[in-house]
Structure 1
């Protein structure tokens, strides 16, 4: 059933408070603009999540008319949402052909992984020096949750727990803002990672790698912790070729 985002509650006009004597007149344009902005944000977030989660795989056609009917809104907020996604390189708008979910650019993917490794090295070293016992216990609990989710095959929840582990290390190192920086550059990495999780034994392997990082942090061995984290993140880069072979239509091999 279509979701009507622009409907007003019955009787709204009667319940509205009277305007003060010297206040400027209410502008229907302003109200309409605010509603359109809100609708555009909802469509943008929904489409963005579906693209990153690969619910909408690369190459999927996004039909503007279908989206407007699904949300029960006008085309303007839909177009605004699509423009934002295009700026993030998550959709391609092809003149006279349509709008499609963008393929994952390999060069950008590789660069993001390199940048992430450099940033996470800082977090791991600082966490080794500064992490409190309670923070280490919290990280150990995250790993246990990952283990249970891997056994249950819950990919979505595992993905969230995986992010929580890395964010927890940044926080333990006193640099939670670095994880925010990583989140901004890892959009394409997130799409790629969602393709890797269904691989047999992948989640269990990640659990073991996270445990190795945390073991080294708890032992106060920063070099070993960094080496374990680097090995963990290198797996993403090394395996790109494997997943390109599995889903060649999902990747863009040359973005220059």
Structure 2
């Protein structure tokens, strides 16, 4: 687990975020059993913050806690993924209208720079960095709207969606298509064509997610809930 605890900061928060990211990024695989004792030793912390993180993550649907049996990483639930998709698409597309109304040259420059970074890291070795800048692109679109808390809401609601997106790191997928879609969104934003920009953004969010779900339900069936 890639986490070094900074004892000068909140240990509880760091432990929670670290375990959450390990689940989302599939470092901890669906169905994997997690041990309070092992994580406590690994992170050099007491078992209390581990236990509290387990409870919070179970409330988010990322862990399943079974008395007398143990704690397990939840399987990916397609219904929860679809709910996350609905929230993300609705909020991003709604905010985009305001982003276009407030658009300035600095915003355009920043979005172009983020697309350039995605192109720089689009090969398989740079895939994780590519998705970092993919996230930053969407965050910038929201930030431009002036609605400062919307991205935080999206982040909280799209945990299950992100688990599916990380599956694309396990196999080759066309990042060039995602870049092309980002450029189409940006072109519509620059043209201040609200309807086209919202259409392109909605299509981009839906298609990229549905494509991954359909592909990996067949390839990684052991990661998905059977219900």
1:82 deviates by: 1.2
Separation (CA, whole Å) in 2 of partners of 1:181 and 1:139: 21
* 2:205 matches 1:233: yes
Q: Distance in 2 between matches of 1:71 and 1:86?
A: 20
Which residue matches 1:195?
A: 167
Normalized against structure 1, the TM-score is what?
A: 0.80
Q: Is the 8 A contact 1:216 1:225 kept in 2?
A: yes
What is the aligned length? 224
2:93 is equivalent to residue 121 of structure 1: yes
| Alignment partner, residue 247 of structure 1 | 220
Larger Rg: 1
Other-structure match for 1:70: 42
1: distance between equivalents of 2:48 and 2:164? 31
Q: TM-score, normalised by structure 2?
A: 0.89
CA contact (8 A) 1:6 1:73 kept: no
CA distance in 1, matches of 2:129, 2:5: 29
1:69–1:232 distance in 2 versus 1, CA, 3 Å: same
SS at match of 2:65: strand
1:27-106 correspondence to structure 2 within 5 Å = 38-106=10-78
What is the alpha-carbon root mean square deviation over aligned residues?
2.4
Q: 1:145 to 1:75 in 2, by over 3 A?
A: same
Partner of 1:131: 103
SS of 1:56 mapped into structure 2: coil
CA contact (8 A) 1:91 1:100 kept: yes
**C-alpha displacement of 1:152:** 6.3
Equivalents in 1 of 2:195, 2:62: separation in Å?
37
Gaps (5+ residues) in structure 1? Answer: 8-34
State how far apart, in whole Å, the 2-side matches of 1:98 and 1:87 are.
Answer: 16
| CA spacing shift, 1:38–1:134, aligned 2, 3 Å | closer
Q: Which string of whole-angstrom CA distances, capped at 9 and with x for unpartnered residues, describes residues 183-240 of structure 1?
A: 1110111111111244434322111111110011111211111111111011144222
- Structure 2, unmatched stretches of 5+, are none
Per-residue CA shift, 1:133-191, capped at 9, x if unaligned? 11111101100101111136312221211111111111222223222211111011111
